[in-house]
Each structure stands twice: as C-alpha cells, then as structure tokens.
Structure 1
Amino acid sequence: MAGGGDGSVVGVQLALVVGLLCLCTALPLVFLRPVTAGIAVSVASVWSLTVFQTVTLAGFGAQLIAQYRLGRNGRQLLAVVLGLPFLLLALAGPVDPDFRVRAVLLAALAPVAALAGLAQRARKQVLENTATREAIVGTLLENTARGERARIARELHDVVAHHISMVAVQAETARLATTGMPAEGAKRLLGIGDTARAALTEMRRLLGVLRDDTTQAATGTADRRPQPSLRQLNELLDEARDASRTAARLIVRGYPRELDPGVELAAYRIVQESLTNARRHASGAAVDVELNYTDSDLRLRIRDNGPGMSTAVPAGGQGLLGMRERAAAVGGEVRTGSAVSGGFVVEARFPATTEESL
C-alpha cells in the first residue's frame, strides 16, 4: 500500500513537471510557431494523461493557450483534430472517473478555446475591413471634391476670366483709338483696364486656390503666392478713389499688429466687398473704413453716407452672405444694415489671434 502511495505521488510530481515544461515550451512557441506548439503540447498532454493518468493545471493552461492560438491563426480544424485523442481516451481509457473527467475536459475545451481564437480573429478582420472601407470612402469623397473644384476652376477660367480679359482689352482699345478724348475720359478708361487686370489677377489666384489640392497631389507643391492682408488696405482704398471718385479714408485705432493670416485675409475681403457695394449702390458716397485693435479682438467698421438700403432687401445678398461666411470661418462675426444717421454700415469682429499664438 505504501509503495502504491509513493508511486502515485511520484506520478503526480512527474505530471506536474511535464505540465510546467509544456507551459514553458508553449508560451514562446505559441506566438512564433502556433502549429508546432499546438502539436507538441497535445502530444505531451496525451502522454501525461496516459502514463500518469493526470494532467496538471499548467498542462491544462498550456493546452488552452495552444488551442486558442490555433484558432486565432485560422487553424481551427487542426485544433479540433488535436482534441480527438482526449475524446478517445475518455471513451476507451481506464474506467477511473477522475481520468475520464480530465480527458473529457481536454476534449471539450480544445474546440472552445479554438472558437474563442477564431472569434477574435474574425473581430480583428471586421475592424480592419471597416477601417479599409472608411479609408476608401474618404478617398473617394476627397477625389470627388477635388474634381468638382477643378470643374469650377475650368468654368471660371473659360467664362469669367475670358470676359474680364475682353473688358481690359476693349478699354485699352477705346482709349487708344478714340481721338480728341478728354484727359478725364482717358483716365477713366485706363482705370477700367487696370481694374479689369486686377480682377483677372484675383481670378487667377482664386483658380490657383481651387486647383491647389490637385497640384499638390500631382507635384507635391502648393501655390505659395502671398494672400492680401490689412497692410494692403491703403492700396485698396486708392483703387476705390481712382475708380469712382470715392472719398474713402482709413482710420486706425489701437495698437496695429500683424494678426493671423486668415483673419487678415477675411478682413481685407470684407473691406473689398464693402467698397464694391458702395460703388454699386451709393456711387460717389464717402466711405470710412475703421480698424480698431484691442487686446482681445479686431473690430472693423465700413460706413458710407449714401442712401442706405433695407436689410430686408436681398440686394447684394450673395456678397453679404460671403462676408458672414468668411468671418465665421476664422471665428468672427459680421453685422450689416442701414446706419441711423444715413448710409449703410458693415461691422465685423475677429479674434485678435496672431500666427504665433495658434
């Protein structure tokens, strides 16, 4: 009896050693060689169960890890096959209940672990496929938007730019071909030609912006020509004076400083649009452009002393809408309407952020 007990203890100890060896062997191999690790661990577990009629927790752990990795690598059929010997041992092995329980557990848990690995593999594939589809959709949308911008650029070039060029050519032709023209008339025609050429330059700049993405994608470069800023306001007002005898003046308050380029461009365009509206709806009216720099924001006010117009009338509506959109794009806001003392007023406020503070 004592000898039998000693033999049982020795068998358990050997089984424990085998289980630990299986676990230590499976852990490094299971990630590098899952098939090799799965076969080796299954053979060791069958041998331990046959010879010692037991499998330790370490052996169970090594078996489950190996089966899981087989399922994770898409070898679920091999995982099921490697579980069949344990089922045969449970059916044809010793009648010892403990032995059969261990064999049945190994036979049942093998496919369960493999299915868990397979489920994880399927989840990973779903996530990867979703990410791939999202990337494809994003690329398609970007290409569609780029194509639409290119189409708009072509239409602007073919239609608008052509007509602006014709205005410049006809103004220059009329100035040179008309004999006895008063100096003032010649100056006006020269101003028309200069304005048309300036508009053509702005149009080409706009076309460059619209085509920027396509150019960058094809050549890896972008249009780096400087955009107008508040430093060019005096030149803009000079053009307005020459074009329509507008008494335009610039008033600057506070501490002028260079702001974020987006803010300066938006403010410049709002002044430009306001001067255009003044020429269109209040020709000859005086225009005051006020810039007020504060610590937190830039306040812009453009007022003419013309007849004004009701805010309910959509005259120039697209231009006013464009002002609001430009301001909103850089965190600002625009208000427009008839001034109490007469005329029309445009007020805008922008955050006084500098390029360095972004």
Structure 2
Amino acid sequence: MDEHRWGGRAEWGRRIGVGPRTPVVAGTVLALLAVTESFARTADSGVTVRFGLLIGLLALATTLPPAFLSPAAAAASVTAATVLSLAPFRSLTVAGLCAQLIVLHRLGRAGSPRSAALLAMPFLPLALARLAPAHSETGVLTVLLASLAPVAAWAGIARRARGEALTHSAAHRAMTSTLLEHTARSERARIARELHDVVAHHISMIAVQAETARLTTPGMPAAGAQRLSSIGDTARAALTEMRRLLGVLREDTGSATADRQPQPGLRQLVDLLDEARDASGTGTRLIVRGRQAALDPGVELAAYRIVQEALTNARRHAPGAAVDVELHYTAGTLALRIRDNGPGPPPAPPAGGHGLSGMRERAAAVGGELRTGPAPGGGFLVETVLPTHAETTG
C-alpha cells in the first residue's frame, strides 16, 4: 500500500516538474518575490529611489528569464545578472538564489552539461572576494550560492545521465527481445521443414508400402489385407495431423532463413532413389550430366531435400508413375530436374500442403530459383538452378 502511495506521489511530482507552464509560473512567482524583497531592503537602507529601481530591475533579471527563455539562454542570463548584482552592487535576493540553482539544474538536465558546470563556477571567486560582510544577508547568500551552484548543476547532469541510461537499457532490452523472437521463429521454421522433409517422407513411405503390399501379395488373407489397409489409413491420418502441426509452426515464421547445416547430401541421393523405387515398385532413374564439382554443404542439403520432396509428391499424387531425376553440372551452377510421367498437376493445390513452398524456400535460401508445373508431353516437372556455393545475405 505504501509503495503504491509513494509511487503515485513520485509520478505526480514528475508530471508537475515537467509541465509546459511550470517555468512560466516559477519564474513569475520568483520575480514577484525578488522585487518585493529588494524593495523592502532598499526602503530599510534609505537609498535613493533611482538606486532602488535599479536593484529591482536586477532582481527581475535574476528571476524572470526562466519564464520565457530556453534552458541555455535562461541560465546564461540569470548567471550574468547574478554576477552583476553581486560584483558592483553587492545585492542578492533569496528568490534570485533559488532561480540561479533552478536554471543550473535545468541546464544540466536538458542542455549542455559542460555549460552548466562552467556557469556554476563564477560564484566561488565572488564568495572568496568577500564583496559583502560575512555576517550580512548578502554575504550568507553568496556563500550558499557558491556552495550549492555546483551541486545543482551536477544534480541535473546526473539526472540526465540516469535518463539516458534508462533509455539505452530499454533499447537494449527491446533489441534483445527482437533477436530472441527472430531466433525462435527461425527455429520453428527449421523444425517445420525438417518435419515435412524427413518425418512426413517416411510416413508417406509407410502408407505407400502398406498399400503396395496389400495389392501385390498373392493369397493374402482378408484379415492381413484389412490390417495393411488400416496401417495405410493410420499413416495418412498421421500425415493430415502433421500438416496441421506444420501450419501452426509456419503461422508466424514469415520468410525465416532456412537452416543450412550439412546433413544429407548428394552422396545419399542414390540411397534415396533406391528407397523410393522399393516403396513404389516403379522405375526411378538418376541421370548425371557434366563434370561433377564440389558443392557447398548447404547447396547439397537443399538439392537433397528438393529431390526428396519431389519423390514424395510423386508417390502421393501420381502413384505408379516413373520418375527421372537429372543432375546437370555446369560452371558455377547445378541444374536439378525431377519429372514424373503421371497425370500432371492437380487442378487445385491440396489444402494444407507445404511441399512446393518448402522446396522454393530451400532453393531461395542458397540463392537459387525453383519452377514447378506440367511437363512437356505429360506429367509433372520440378526444375531448379542452384549455385555451387550458397549465397549469404546481410
């Protein structure tokens, strides 16, 4: 309860201190007090009216500038008027002392810290010069001003430094939060791609092999055929649920950069094609042209995943179709072409599918381009050209 009360008071005080009319009100009040005090002193001392008016004008000059001038101009004007009041006329009011401390603090907080420190220095020599008797009111005010002026200036400077530190700390926290969010989104995108490319690939093979075994095994009992059919249905249901999970993972990843860790590569491509051939029971050929060159590991991973996804799509949408995988090595590029002799692309993309977008992301991540569509003479065609070395952005 106390913390809330004191916090509310501090917030109320902060708002009062930074209000747009606060300098005007403070300067006007201090000017009235300074003029009243100066006239009271001159009346008691019996000086001439002209001298009294001059002292009153100096009192105004030491208090009124904060109401109309910027922090730097107000501090310079008030300091000059205060020095002029002390040096020739040996006069200083309590309101003038308060105004001098206020403008120094204000300058240190909102203006130049060096100027605030310099403007606080002239009062020490004036106090040491003993322009007024030490026991007099002006002498006491001069000593107080020499002692408190540097404190006011440095207090303003410290408050400014604290505000800047808080601002920098907030900016650092915002940058850290953004970096962590970007990292998390990139990791979700990587997990989504790996689930789609690896786990979904194997589940799809389970469904294809179960269906193939049920249809090609002669003399299979009805119970065995029913179990294989159930295995295929379960695998397809798992694929559907995985697509929903991938949709959630991809929901806010945007264009996150693909992971380029060199896991599988083109050396494992033959095993991948053998696995696809065994699963579907159809012809799958690998055709290599040109002189094989060393590729960036990220490029090899992208090429492997693109072929893997293309084979999975062929088994899913063109069961029984033969597939040709062509690798064409040229100077600085690898041209990849996967074609099946199935019915061609469906009239509408399947709901929840991420295969084609995933392949495009793989190609774009290493600086390549990917095209898909109907193949000449029938079937479906996937073409991409990848650089031999992955292109980095940034």
Normalising by structure 1, we get a TM-score of 0.51
Change (3 A) 1:79 1:46: same
Instruction: Check conservation: 1:12, 1:54, Cα contact below 8 A.
Output: no
> Is residue 162 of structure 2 the alignment partner of residue 123 of structure 1?
yes
What is the identity, as a one-letter code, of the residue corresponding to 2:147? A
Instruction: Check conservation: 2:62, 2:79, Cα contact below 8 A.
Output: no
2:173 is matched with 134
Amino-acid identity (%)? 56
Instruction: Check conservation: 2:61, 2:78, Cα contact below 8 A.
Output: no
Change (3 A) 1:4 1:124: closer
Paired residues for 1:110-259 under 5 Å: 110-179=149-218, 181=220, 184-215=223-254
1:303 is matched with none
User: What is the alpha-carbon distance in structure 1 between the residues aligned to residue 53 and residue 91 of structure 2?
Assistant: 10
Aligned with residue 104 of structure 2, among 26, 42, 67 = 67
What is the identity, as a one-letter code, of the residue corresponding to 2:117? V
1:5 is matched with 45
In structure 1, runs of 5+ residues without a counterpart are: 219-358
Change (3 A) 1:12 1:197: farther
2:14 is matched with none
Instruction: Check conservation: 1:16, 1:56, Cα contact below 8 A.
Output: no
Name the SS of the counterpart of 2:142 in structure 1.
helix
1:106 is matched with 145
Q: How far does residue 21 in structure 1 lie from its aligned partner after superposition?
A: 5.0
Name the SS of the counterpart of 1:213 in structure 2.
coil
User: What is the alpha-carbon distance in structure 2 between the residues aligned to residue 9 and residue 87 of structure 1?
Assistant: 31
Q: How far does residue 120 in structure 1 lie from its aligned partner after superposition?
A: 0.7
User: What is the alpha-carbon distance in structure 2 between the residues aligned to residue 123 and residue 205 of structure 1?
Assistant: 50
Instruction: Check conservation: 2:120, 2:149, Cα contact below 8 A.
Output: yes
Change (3 A) 1:135 1:25: same
Instruction: Check conservation: 1:153, 1:210, Cα contact below 8 A.
Output: yes
> Is residue 97 of structure 2 the alignment partner of residue 35 of structure 1?
no
1:26 is matched with 66
User: What is the alpha-carbon distance in structure 1 between the residues aligned to residue 127 and residue 226 of structure 2?
Assistant: 109
Normalising by structure 2, we get a TM-score of 0.47
What is the identity, as a one-letter code, of the residue corresponding to 1:124? G
Q: How far does residue 104 in structure 1 lie from its aligned partner after superposition?
A: 2.9
User: What is the alpha-carbon distance in structure 2 between the residues aligned to residue 78 and residue 178 of structure 1?
Assistant: 95
2:92 is matched with 55
Q: Summarize deviations over 1:61-117 as a string: whole Å, max 9, x none.
A: 221111002211363332232234333333446353334433333233221111100
User: What is the alpha-carbon distance in structure 1 between the residues aligned to residue 116 and residue 52 of structure 2?
Assistant: 27
User: What is the alpha-carbon distance in structure 1 between the residues aligned to residue 171 and residue 51 of structure 2?
Assistant: 54
Instruction: Check conservation: 2:189, 2:256, Cα contact below 8 A.
Output: no
Change (3 A) 1:37 1:13: same
Name the SS of the counterpart of 2:254 in structure 1.
helix
Instruction: Check conservation: 2:109, 2:156, Cα contact below 8 A.
Output: yes
